[in-house]
Chain A
Amino acid sequence: MPDELILDKEHLTGFLRKIAKERELVAPVKNSHGDTLFEVVSSVDDISLDLESKPVMPAKNFFLPRTETLFHYQRKGKQYLFKEVLPEVPRVLFGLRSCDLWAILFLDVVFQENFKDRYYLNRRSDTVLINIGCREPMRNCFCKSAKSGPFLTQGYDLQLTDLGDRFFVEIGRPRGRELVEKWDYFFRPATNRDRDEQYEIVLEAESRFERIVDFDTAISRFINNEVDDALWEELGNRCQGCGGCAYVCPTCYCFNIVDRPDSETEGQRLRIHDACTLAGFTRLAGGHNPRHERSRRVRRRFYHKLPFAQEKYHRPSCVGCGRCVEICFGRVDMIHFIRMVCERPEKSKEASLRLGEILVRAGVISTEELKIALEKQDRTGKLLGTQLIEDGLATGKEIAFALGRQLGIPETVGTGGVVGR
């Protein structure tokens, strides 16, 4: 079977019907309210397949559900028992946008590296991914800048291109080939004309992107610490802490693990999507939060998506789907962020702060009080911290924290990682 085939559109339903007999079929469906969502298709006849628009949510939820049960637990007398729940569904995801498919490949790496995540991998292991290339960028799309679309060169099982009356089908991974070989009578080999036509469409699609998002500049400025605090401050103010950006992002995978009691003797351990823009994400049991300020959390988010992912995976963990752009209340999204960073003049290197200044900035003492303490210190020869404590202007704890900041020690150092919590 050649690598490039043609599927006439009139055969699409028939092909999907065959697939759906053996696997759970998931496809973008426009519902009666006008929203397009990835739905589990129980009958190919009563749905309106929507291959034209971007589904509201990415496909990650099929592998990493919003809420999933990791196991059931039970208490019997003094015993504490666990009952594993490991899902396994043979599935085909049809009509993925290229960006969404690319995102799944990204998640594959995360959940396979080091410790294997059985929940994700079980759901993922028997899944066929079929994407459809985008002939035209949709609103807020920038997959071209993110190098994850509009068409893929690898990673898919099958990739479709809409050629008007027919689909051009490229076979990628073996699972795609298996599927096509099994139902080969729906397909015919592509001709050179088909190939040329498809190639033109790809070129045309790539040329239509208006949004050019300069990931490289943004990442390099970020790494070199050239993004000034005022920008983070502004983004921190604009972020409403809804968590939406993480929930809709196809590559955001951070999660929380919690117990949901069902009764006095039974319950479930759940895994729930989490969002790093929330304060509770990093707050410690004792109440201290290393990322207390929203600006820090926003900064962390972009750090994770850009330099962190670049360092670890050699690409940003943004696929340019534009969903965060679409939904963010305060425009704290990837496009606006990168634009702000790139347009910003370089910041002047900040001189390292002295202890007194740190205390003033933290609101512990006023400039006036600092002045007086410094003068007094001249006479007594004591350390500034000691002087301030003696004068009752600061507590030992406050001095310690300021000292820690001056030494570049996070406020969570030294507590045994995990001591006694």
Chain B
Amino acid sequence: MEDRAQILRKMVANIYHPHSASIQGVKEETRDIKTLTLVFKDQEIQDHFTFQPGQFVLVSVFNCGEAPISISSSPTFSEGLQLSIKKMGLLTGEIHRYTEGEEVGLRGPYGNGFPLDELCGHNLLFVGGGIGLAPLRSLIQYVFSKRSEFGRVTVLYGARTPRDIVFKDDLAAWGREKDVKVLTTVYRDNPEWKGEVGPLSPLLEKAAISPSNTKAIICGHPAIISYVIFDLLKMGFAEDEIISTLERNMKCGVGKCGHCSIGSKFTCMHGPVFTYRQIKEFPSVL
């Protein structure tokens, strides 16, 4: 135990100091999303690094600075830490060029993560859009590793086109689990696509979701979220039972730099996971 405390101290002795981690594997999910598997070079850190689904790390890329990326693997996954990264700008563009063996810097984990205790014993409805499935994947994998502690699981996923679907193998694997329903839709299909086409909202009906004893966890583009929350409220979900995440510009990750503030909270510390009730009560423009 003492050993662990010492290592933890080492990890946070300087909160801005990243730890080198090398890329063990690169998986191309879509044309602009890659999943990297990372392992800390310092064996002690690697052995003791723990996190909760929904938390994120700050990733340093040589000469490009830092960016917050949520962890897409489950804490129970033993081969390293997985990050699914969409090519957006300078930093993410650079990391997309990285290959196995190359190193990035990591610090964290930061953020509150999903409220595992509260989710325990409930049916879970996951609604994800695009890359928004990444943090959900961490939680879904975790749920499957502790299957008996949770009720029925429904995963609704929407992507722009069939080519933009992430975690294809995972989606298929989840669908094979007991008491699990996975529905995937695309906004624009192509000839090979056999599945659903259109927005996410109608899937709620199709999946025959009942609000009783169910928690909804939503992650995706804000435009999708608004529709989904609107429908969930209509279906009778309580505001506390809808859980989503907020995106803000983050720099320090530890509640100091001021960038990610919303109301009197910092997204990096008090978030990024919030219930709809909390989100609604934030002073709208702050």
Contact = CB atoms under 8 A, between A and B. Distances in A.
B67 A415 contact: no
Contacts of B33: 420
Contacts of B146: none
A115 B131 contact: no
B88 interface: yes
A220 to B, nearest CB: 15
A276 B69 contact: no
Contacts of A81: 20
Contacts of A111: 256
A414 B12 CA distance: 29
Interface stretch (B149-157, B178-186, B275-283): B275-283
Contacts of A296: 285-286
Contacts of A267: 62-63
A253 B226 contact: no
A407 B226 contact: yes
Interface string B33-66: 1000000000000000000001010001011111
Contacts of A75: 62-63
Contact of B247 (A82, A304, A415): A415
B89 interface: yes
B116 interface: no
Contacts of B64: 259
A420 B284 contact: no
Contacts of A249: none
A341 to B, nearest CB: 16
A351 to B, nearest CB: 15
Nearest to A418: B68
Nearest to A402: B226
Nearest to B86: A420
A327 B258 CA distance: 23
Interface string B63-84: 1111111100000000000001
B219 to A, nearest CB: 5
Contacts of A256: 251, 257, 259
Contacts of B229: 407, 409
Nearest to A398: B223
B132 interface: yes
Interface residues of A, number: 73
B256 A416 contact: no
A312 B85 CA distance: 35
Contacts of B20: 79-82
Given A413-B222, A420-B86, A421-B86, A253 B16 contact: no
Interface string A6-48: 0000000000000000000000000000000000000000000
Taking each of B20, B219, B222, which has the highest tally of chain A beta carbons within 10 Å of its own beta carbon? B222
B162 interface: no
A141 to B, nearest CB: 26
Contacts of A283: 249
Interface string B248-286: 111110111111011110010101110010011111111
Given A80-B103, A417-B68, A400 B227 contact: yes
Contacts of B111: 417-418
Given A281-B249, A404-B223, 11 more contacts: A284-B248, A285-B89, A401-B226, A403-B226, A409-B276, A411-B222, A412-B248, A414-B246, A415-B245, A417-B135, A418-B68
8 contacts: A78-B102, A259-B65, A269-B16, A281-B249, A286-B88, A413-B279, A414-B225, A419-B247
Lowest 8 A-B CB distances belong to which pairs? A417-B272, A254-B258, A420-B86, A414-B225, A400-B223, A418-B68, A404-B226, A80-B103
Interface of B: 12-18, 20, 22, 33, 54, 56, 60, 62-70, 84-86, 88-89, 92, 101-105, 111, 129, 131-132, 134-135, 199, 218-227, 229-230, 233, 244-252, 254-259, 261-264, 267, 269, 271-273, 276, 279-286
